């Protein structure tokens, strides 16, 4: 039945998403061991909501988390952050805090503990 097929597809994508989420978490923990990185994702039914946005502008993405879905401006990475992924039609840009303590170990001088804070 259609309902059974829909549930099977949803379970498949949830399992696939969980596997990808674990891969991303492992990669980020290896790459950015100093940062605490939380990776959150969820399955969103975009059947009809895909049409709600229509065509977004080149500097916008369709936010399916809102009801109804709507176009929103892509985030610009603020000072002290670097871009990890580009903004696309259905996902916002992802920014990561830059750790100046690691990049410039002598930024605070000798015998002073450097504490990274978000931004610059």
Whether the Cβ atoms of residue 82 and residue 92 lie closer than 8 Å to each other: no
Predicted local distance difference test score (pLDDT) of residue 6: 73
Higher pLDDT, 86 or 54: 86
Cis peptide before 19 (omega within 30 of 0): no
Whether the Cβ atoms of residue 71 and residue 62 lie closer than 8 Å to each other: yes
pLDDT digits (tens, 9 = 90+) for 25-75: 665 555 444 444 444 555 555 455 455 677 889 899 998 888 888 899 999
Higher pLDDT, 110 or 59: 59
Predicted local distance difference test score (pLDDT) of residue 53: 79
Predicted local distance difference test score (pLDDT) of residue 33: 43
Q: In Å, how far are 20, 51, 83 from 24, measured between CA atoms?
A: 6, 29, 16
Predicted local distance difference test score (pLDDT) of residue 112: 87
pLDDT at residue 102 tops 70: yes
In angstroms, the CA 65 to CA 54 distance is 15
Higher pLDDT, 20 or 106: 106
pTM metric for this prediction? 0.50
Predicted local distance difference test score (pLDDT) of residue 19: 72
The mean-pLDDT minimum among 16-20, 68-72, 93-97 falls in 16-20
DSSP class of residue 33 equals T
């Amino acid at each position: 039945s259609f309902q059974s097929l829909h549930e099977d597809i949803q379970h498949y994508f949830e399992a696939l998403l969980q596997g990808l989420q674990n891969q991303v978490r492992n990669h980020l923990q290896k790459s950015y061991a100093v940062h605490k990185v939380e990776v959150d994702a969820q399955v969103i039914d975009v059947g009809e909501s895909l049409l709600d946005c229509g065509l977004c502008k080149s500097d916008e993405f369709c936010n399916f988390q809102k009801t109804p879905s709507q176009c929103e401006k892509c985030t610009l990475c603020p000072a002290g952050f670097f871009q990890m992924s580009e903004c696309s039609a259905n996902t916002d840009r992802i920014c990561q805090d830059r750790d100046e303590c690691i990049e410039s170990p002598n930024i605070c001088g000798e015998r002073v503990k450097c504490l990274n804070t978000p931004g610059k």
